[in-house]
C-alpha cells in the first residue's frame, strides 16, 4: 500500500510555535498601537497610567496581555494542527478501509471464480456409483465437465499470468515471422470463436486484407494469440444477443493493424482511463458478467507493448467498443526492428515453451 | 414439495435440478434474479438462491423477496461460492435461513440440508 500516514507530532509542534509567535507579535502590536498609542518607552506608559495607580501597572498589563495573546496563538495553532491531523487520520483510515474492502472483494471474487467450475466437477463425480448416476453422467454433462475443468485451469492460469506480468517475470519468445502467419493465426482464432458468437446470435464479421509480400513482424506468437483471443472473446462476452462483432486485420504503412469492434455495452467514460489497470473491471461489465478478474486487458497491453506495439480503444457507453492493436513491421533480417527485444529468425527451431500442467 | 432454484450457471442448475427431481422434489429453475422473483409467485416451499448473477444479484433478489409480502415468508437458502464471514452475515441479516458454500457440499448433502430445514415435508 502506498498510503503514507501523516507525521502528526512535528506538524503540531510547528503550528503551535507559529501560533505562539504570531500571538506574541499581535499582543505587542495591540499594546503599542491600540492601548498606548504614541508611547515610545516605559516612562511614557507609566505617565499614562499614573493617574489611577501607583503600581508598575504597565509592566504587568504588558505581561498579562502578551501572555494571553501568546497562549491564544499557541492554542489556535494547536487546534489547527489537531483539526488537520484529525482530517488526515480520517482520510487515511478511509483509504485503508477502502483498500481492505477492495482486497476482500477481490479475494472473494477469485474464490468464487475458481470454486464454481470445481463445484460442477465435484457434483458430477459425486454421482458416480449413486442412484442418479445414469441421469448425471450423460455425454452432455461429461462435455460440460470438460469445459468446467478447462475453466478452472484458465482461471488459475490467468491469475498466475497476471502475477508474472506485474512482477515482470514473464518470459518472451520474440521471433521474426512472416506477416501472413499472423493472418493465419487470426483466421484460426476467429474460426474458433464462431461457435461462441453463434450461441449468442452475434454476427461475427472477419475481414483479413491480404498483406503485401515479404513482410515480417517480430512477435511472441503465443502471447499474441492470447491478446487476439482475449480481445475477441471480450467483444463477444460484452455484446448483447443479436449484436455484431467485426475483426479486421491489415497492413497499413509499416504497421500491422488488428481491430475488433463490437456493438456491446461500451465502457463508462469516467472509467475508461482505468480500463488497462490490473484487476480493474468497469461497473457495467461487472453487472453483465459478474465473474472475471479484470486482468485480460492489463496482460494484453503489457504483451503488445513488449512487442513494441500499441493497444488502444475507443468506446461509447451503450453503443460499443473498438480495440486496436498496432505492431511495427520489420525487414526480413530484422534490421528495422526496434532495439531492446531479442528476436530469433523464424528458421531457427524454437523449444516448445507452451505452459504445461 | 416445490423448490425454486435461482442459479445463473446453467450447468450447476441442471445438475442440482436433476438431483432434486431424483429426490422427489418439483423444481422451478430461474437463471437470474428477475426471473426468480417472477417464479417465486408460484409459492415454492423453499428457494435456493445464488448470489453472483448477472443483472440483479442474489442480495438484491433476496431483499426483493423479503420486501414482497407474497414471498416474504418463503424460506431462502443461499447457495453460493462466495462465503466470507461478511457475506454470510449480510445474507442472514437480509433474511436467508442458511448459507451453503456450494463447493463444500455434494448435491446429496444439499438435499439432506433442505430436508432438515423443512421438517415434516418430504
Q: What is the model's pLDDT at position A356?
A: 38
Q: Are A280 and A267 in contact (CB under 8 A)?
A: no
- Looking at the fold, whether A49 and A156 belong to one and the same domain comes out as no
Show the cell assigned to B52: 453472483
Facing A115 at nearest CB: one of B15, B54, B103: B103
The residue with greater pLDDT, B33 or A61, is B33
Question: What's the mean pLDDT in A342-355?
Answer: 41
Q: Mean pLDDT, to the nearest integer, of B92-120?
A: 93
Q: Is the domain of A206 the same as that of A335?
A: yes
Q: Which residues of A touch B57 (CB under 8 A)?
A: 290
Task: Quote the pLDDT of residue B121.
Answer: 54
| Cell, residue A79 | 487546534
Please indicate whether, in this complex, the C-beta atoms of B22 and A132 are within 8 angstroms of each other: yes
Neighbours of A296 (CB within 10 A): 22
Nearest to A108 among B55, B84, B103 (CB): B84
Average of per-residue pLDDT values in chain A: 84
For residue A351, pLDDT beyond 60: no
pLDDT in tens, A27-42: 777 777 777 666 555 5
Whether chain B has a CB inside 8 Å of the CB on A44: the answer is no
- Long-range CB pairs of A126-132 (<8 Å, 24+ gap) are A126/B106, A126/B107, A126/B108, A127/B19, A127/B107, A130/B108, A131/B22, A132/B18, A132/B19, A132/B22
* B53 close to A (CB below 8 A): yes
Same domain, A295 and A332: yes
Split into its structural domains, chain B has a count of 1
Quick check: helix, strand or coil at residue A216? strand
Does any domain span residue B68? Answer: yes
Residue B85 lies in a domain: yes
pLDDT value, residue A213:
85
Measured in angstroms, the CA of B56 and the nearest CA of chain A are apart by 8
Average pLDDT, chain B: 94
Residue A114 and residue A96 in one domain: no
| pLDDT confidence tier of residue A123, bands split at 50, 70 and 90 | very high
Q: Is the pLDDT of residue B31 over 90?
A: yes
Q: Residue A35's pLDDT is what?
A: 72
- Position with higher pLDDT, A348 vs A219: A219
Are A89 and A200 members of one domain?
no
Statement to judge: residues A325 and A188 lie in one domain: yes
> How far does B18 lie from chain A, in Å, by closest CA?
7
**Residue B71 scores a pLDDT above 90:** yes
What residues contact residue A178 under an 8 Å CB cut-off, 6+ apart? A215, A216, A217, A346
**Is the pLDDT confidence value at B13 over 90?**
yes
CATH number for the domain spanning A282: value is 3.30.565.10
* Confidence at residue A3, expressed as pLDDT on a 0 to 100 scale: 44
Decide if A311 is inside a domain: yes
**What distance in Å separates residue A240's CA from the closest CA in chain B?**
12
CB contact under 8 A, A119 and B103: yes
User: Do A16 and A136 reside in the same domain of the chain?
Assistant: no
Distances (CA, A) of A336 to A175, A216, A218, A318: 14, 10, 10, 41
| pLDDT mean over A190-214 | 93
Number of domains in chain A: 3
Which of the two residues, A92 and A230, has the higher pLDDT score? A230
Percent of chain A with pLDDT over 70: 83
Of B14, B78, B71, B29, residue with least CA distance to A120: B14
Q: Are residues A191 and A307 in the same domain?
A: yes
Whether residue A355 is predicted with pLDDT greater than 60 in this model: the reply is: no
Q: Which domain holds residue A127?
A: 108-166
Across A308-317, average pLDDT? 97
Say if A142 is an interface residue toward chain B (CB within 8 Å): no
Least confident of A122-136, A335-349, B13-27: A335-349
What DSSP designation does A338 have? Answer: P
Residue A355 lies in a domain: no
Give the CATH number, domain containing residue B95.
Answer: 3.40.50.2300
User: Across the interface, do B54 and A288 touch by the CB < 8 Å criterion?
Assistant: yes
**When comparing pLDDT for B79 and A213, which is higher?**
B79
Does residue B77 lie within any of the structural domains?
Answer: yes
Average pLDDT of the residues in A212-238: 94
Residues of A within 8 A of B16 (CB-CB) are 123
Which range, of A16-20, A233-237, A287-291, B32-36, averages the lowest pLDDT?
A16-20
Phi, psi for A161 (deg, rounded to 5): -65, -40
Domain extent for B17: 2-117
Nearest-angstrom CA–CA distance, B29 and B63? 19
Over range A284-294, report the average pLDDT.
Answer: 88
Say if the Cβ atoms of A136 and B9 lie within 8 Å: no
Range A223-237 average pLDDT: 96
Spatial separation of the C-alpha atoms in residues A261 and A202, rounded to whole Å: 12
Write the residue in A120, A131, A287 that is nearest to B55 by C-beta. A287
Report the alpha-carbon angle A249-A250-A252, nearest 5: 145
Amino acid at each position: 500500500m502506498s498510503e503514507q500516514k501523516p507525521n502528526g507530532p512535528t506538524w503540531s509542534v510547528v503550528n503551535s510555535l507559529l501560533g505562539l509567535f504570531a500571538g506574541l507579535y499581535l499582543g505587542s502590536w495591540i499594546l503599542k498601537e491600540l492601548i498606548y498609542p504614541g508611547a515610545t518607552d516605559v516612562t511614557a506608559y507609566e505617565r499614562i497610567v499614573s493617574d489611577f495607580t501607583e503600581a508598575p501597572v504597565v509592566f504587568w498589563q504588558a505581561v498579562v496581555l502578551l501572555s494571553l495573546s501568546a497562549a491564544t496563538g499557541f492554542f489556535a495553532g494547536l487546534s489547527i494542527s489537531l483539526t488537520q491531523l484529525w482530517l488526515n487520520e480520517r482520510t487515511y483510515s478511509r483509504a485503508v478501509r477502502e483498500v481492505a474492502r477492495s482486497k476482500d472483494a477481490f479475494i472473494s471474487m477469485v474464490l468464487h471464480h475458481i470454486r464454481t467450475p470445481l463445484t460442477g466437477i465435484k457434483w458430477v463425480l459425486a454421482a458416480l456409483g449413486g442412484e442418479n448416476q445414469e441421469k448425471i453422467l450423460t455425454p452432455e454433462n461429461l462435455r460440460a465437465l470438460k469445459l468446467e475443468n478447462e475453466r478452472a485451469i484458465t482461471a488459475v492460469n490467468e491469475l498466475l499470468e497476471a502475477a508474472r506480468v506485474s512482477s515482470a517475470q514473464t518470459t518472451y519468445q520474440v521471433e521474426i515471422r512472416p506477416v501472413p502467419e499472423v493472418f493465419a493465426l487470426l483466421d484460426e482464432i476467429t474460426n474458433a470463436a464462431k461457435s461462441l458468437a453463434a450461441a449468442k446470435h452475434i454476427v461475427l464479421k472477419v475481414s483479413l486484407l491480404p498483406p503485401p509480400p515479404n513482410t515480417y513482424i517480430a512477435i511472441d506468437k503465443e502471447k499474441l494469440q492470447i491478446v487476439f483471443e482475449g480481445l475477441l472473446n471480450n467483444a463477444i462476452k460484452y455484446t448483447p444477443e443479436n449484436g455484431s462483432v467485426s475483426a479486421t486485420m491489415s497492413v497499413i504503412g509499416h504497421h500491422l493493424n488488428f481491430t475488433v469492434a463490437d456493438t456491446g455495452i461500451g465502457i463508462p467514460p469516467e472509467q475508461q482511463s482505468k480500463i488497462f489497470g490490473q484487476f480493474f473491471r468497469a461497473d457495467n461489465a461487472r453487472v453483465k458478467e459478474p465473474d472475471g478478474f479484470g486482468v485480460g486487458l492489463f496482460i494484453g497491453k503489457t504483451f503488445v507493448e513488449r512487442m513494441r506495439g500499441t493497444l488502444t480503444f475507443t468506446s461509447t457507453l451503450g453503443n460499443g467498443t473498438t480495440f486496436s492493436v498496432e505492431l511495427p513491421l520489420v525487414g526480413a533480417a530484422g534490421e528495422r526492428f526496434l532495439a531492446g527485444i531479442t528476436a530469433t529468425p523464424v528458421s531457427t527451431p524454437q523449444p516448445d515453451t507452451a505452459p504445461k500442467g | 414439495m416445490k423448490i425454486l432454484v435461482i442459479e445463473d450457471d446453467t450447468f450447476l442448475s441442471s445438475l442440482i435440478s436433476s438431483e432434486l427431481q431424483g429426490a422427489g422434489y418439483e423444481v422451478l429453475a430461474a437463471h437470474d434474479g428477475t426471473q426468480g422473483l417472477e417464479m417465486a409467485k408460484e409459492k415454492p416451499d423453499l428457494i435456493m438462491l445464488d448470489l453472483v448473477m448477472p443483472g440483479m444479484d442474489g442480495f438484491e433478489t433476496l431483499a426483493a423477496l423479503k420486501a414482497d409480502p407474497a414471498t416474504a415468508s418463503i424460506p431462502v437458502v443461499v447457495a453460493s461460492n462466495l462465503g466470507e464471514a461478511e457475506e454470510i452475515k449480510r445474507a442472514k441479516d437480509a433474511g436467508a435461513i442458511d448459507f451453503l458454500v456450494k463447493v463444500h457440499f455434494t448435491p446429496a448433502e444439499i438435499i439432506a440440508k433442505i430436508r432438515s430445514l423443512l421438517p415434516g415435508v418430504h
